Structure 1
């Protein structure tokens, strides 16, 4: 069955073969000049033998050429007029040139030239005409066939390239989906991890003190409820951003400086509020600011905030320290953020984690820094504790003077004095 299906001709080839057969029979019936023999049953059979094999010329080009040439030679030798049968071996030879090897093409050209010469001789044409006809017809058919071969090769190459392009597009689509999943996972990790740490710690404290100190349990549950509401707010904000804006624009075709609404993204101004929540969970956080405050791109603000959030969450979850220090330095060409903890007094130097972590947080922080062409280093401090440092180049960020003192969520944050002004005692101010 597969062999029969492979030999099944296309409808266009069948129509061509039937058309030549019908036209040859009709012309032979109504037009038979002297001295050609009258068109009889033998002529009809030979006409069908010459024309109908053309339906298989795409599958068996050389065989079709031999059959049509032999049939046409017998047709001529029996004294019938050439009519349209003249073109059947020529069309078969075109298919030979388009599909067969060079040796078969040469043999086919010789066979076609011999049949054309026989046609001229039987038609009593002058010998120069017969010779020219025997040379020109195979040459023209060969050119047409080779042109078809080149077109077929180009079409095959186009099909191959189309398949490769389609596969590449599918791979790019899969890669885009994976990148989007990684980005969403990073955002969810950075958003939920810190809040859920507070909720876990406070609900554990409430469970522990439920009977012995109901007031403390009540306060712990209130802090956990507040952290839960903050989690919902951040999730809502995150979903809006993921649906509407590309937070990693620097890694794609979008411009990383494209504006993003400030109310959708967390910024450096929210770091003190973050410190407040962690203080309620039992981790004392001191926040320092230095340098000339100025508005930065919201993506850079989000990067700094998320790094501080993840670093402080790691301190609360994995470190033996009870306090952490956050420093935000606004330099002329760089934003530098440092988060460090001193470690527990009785901890060995370099001790950091008392519970295992997945390591995804550190990977996410480094990815965020890379998006904005920055760098992030993290490691144990020689004297104990752990340090995370983020550095982001600011380039030509436009600075606008910020007040030396502002209020956020009921607390006052005091800027460091300008180190170049000569004022101040050199001590870093802290959250008050």
Structure 2
């Protein structure tokens, strides 16, 4: 089975030619040197040189089908020895081809061809030396050497597969992080657009209604529209800048978080929604993700109140404790949609699912539904454990 990883260093264009040339040079020089100590062997003539070079030339094809290269290298080595030429490093091309086959994943082909070549070489040795007994010791040494080489190749192949698997895992994690980031951006756009467009719609209605009777009040409504639209543009620019990957100057205003809760409530009051705030516990700096999620949950809950609750009054409660923060938004409305989240609960919107996904993504929880006495409530718990207690111990 072919390895699933990237091609190894031996599969590039330059090594494809350099490796066979290096093997050919080493084999030829080594064989010439070895022939001097074997006067009984056939002198190394042109045919012998061709056979030596043919085995090395077969290595050029190892990047396409290594077992074929191994078979050619083994056959040329057997033919070389069968013709009586001197022993030498004529097996080097075959060993290199075998390593390429094992490392690239062609293990079965490599083992079958190697076993057949070993038997054939043993038969050639017996034919060249008919009076000698079977060289068990020498054959055992060759088998041991082959086992060591094969073990090293298997280790390298396994290592390459682990690296490839790790790379795939990292790529999958990067894709998952990208998907989560896109989902977060989509939530931010949904919340920002819903909130500001709703404010603009309300203030535009006020301005149209009072344009003739109370121009000053209409002017105030238009000023609120300008401020809300400017804030919307800034938030969209900051959010979309993440998608574009453009380095932008830091935002001039504070990042959306509970520190901006008063501004958010003022915007809703100016749009005609009475809302009060209760803070329990000692406010503290939260992780940016938790702080941002808490702000967006309150923002979306109040936006839904303005849209669906009719004439209503809302309350926001923020509770800080050692384990995190809890935000709760309630209204007493009885509009046509029976509360600020009814449309979402019926599958007609994305506000409530988006709030719940924000909370779950941080390991928290969110519940929402009609109140017993009328209206609607949203309750979110976001964990953010303290590393130090809220109030340091005395002494």
Bin of the TM-score, shorter chain as denominator length: 0.5 to 0.7
Is contact 1:350-1:383 (8 Å) kept? no
Is contact 2:264-2:299 (8 Å) kept? yes
**Aligned match for 1:297, one of 261, 286, 290:** 286
Corresponding position of 1:363: 353
- Please report how far the alpha carbon of residue 285 of structure 1 lies from its aligned counterpart in structure 2 after TM superposition: 1.7
Alignment of 1:363-382 (within 5 A): 363-370=353-360, 372-382=362-372
Deviation readout 1:6-55 (Å, 9 max, x if unpaired): xxx95544554566557767997x9997xx6996xxx7255346534433
Corresponding position of 2:104: none
Deviation readout 1:75-132 (Å, 9 max, x if unpaired): xxxxxxx6xx2236665786798734275255235314415635xx6xxxxxxxx659
Deviation readout 1:231-267 (Å, 9 max, x if unpaired): 3565688799999xxxxxxxxxxxxxxxxxxx84445
Alignment of 1:40-189 (within 5 A): 44-45=45-46, 47-48=48-49, 51-55=52-56, 56=58, 58-72=70-84, 85-87=86-88, 99-101=110-112, 104=116, 107-108=119-120, 110-115=122-127, 117-118=129-130, 134-189=135-190
Corresponding position of 1:430: none
- Please report how far the alpha carbon of residue 198 of structure 1 lies from its aligned counterpart in structure 2 after TM superposition: 0.6
Is contact 1:372-1:392 (8 Å) kept? yes
Is contact 1:288-1:328 (8 Å) kept? yes
Matched residue of 1:86: which SS?
coil
Does 2:387 match 1:399? no
Is contact 1:373-1:393 (8 Å) kept? yes
Greater mean deviation of Cα atoms: 225-234 or 372-381: 225-234
Partner Cα distance (1:272, 1:294) in 2: 14
Matched residue of 2:356: which SS?
helix
Change (3 A) 1:112 1:207: farther
Deviation readout 1:150-209 (Å, 9 max, x if unpaired): 333333333333333333222222222222222233333334432221112212443455
Corresponding position of 2:376: 386
Change (3 A) 1:385 1:104: same
Partner Cα distance (1:332, 1:15) in 2: 69
**Aligned match for 1:286, one of 276, 282, 292:** 276
Partner Cα distance (1:13, 1:298) in 2: 60
Report the TM-score when normalising by structure 1.
0.63
Partner Cα distance (1:58, 1:38) in 2: 25
Give the aligned CA root-mean-square deviation in angstroms: 4.5
Partner Cα distance (1:328, 1:339) in 2: 9
- Please report how far the alpha carbon of residue 218 of structure 1 lies from its aligned counterpart in structure 2 after TM superposition: 2.4
- Please report how far the alpha carbon of residue 312 of structure 1 lies from its aligned counterpart in structure 2 after TM superposition: 0.3
Partner Cα distance (1:280, 1:320) in 2: 16
Report the TM-score when normalising by structure 2.
0.68
Change (3 A) 1:264 1:237: farther
Corresponding position of 1:257: none
Change (3 A) 1:369 1:96: closer
Partner Cα distance (1:270, 1:234) in 2: 13
Number of positions where the alignment pairs a residue of Structure 1 with one of Structure 2: 346
Partner Cα distance (1:136, 1:237) in 2: 77
Corresponding position of 1:309: 299
Partner Cα distance (2:364, 2:38) in 1: 92
Change (3 A) 1:353 1:50: closer
- Please report how far the alpha carbon of residue 227 of structure 1 lies from its aligned counterpart in structure 2 after TM superposition: 1.9
- Please report how far the alpha carbon of residue 293 of structure 1 lies from its aligned counterpart in structure 2 after TM superposition: 3.9
Is contact 2:304-2:340 (8 Å) kept? no
Corresponding position of 1:324: 314
- Please report how far the alpha carbon of residue 341 of structure 1 lies from its aligned counterpart in structure 2 after TM superposition: 1.7
Corresponding position of 2:326: 336
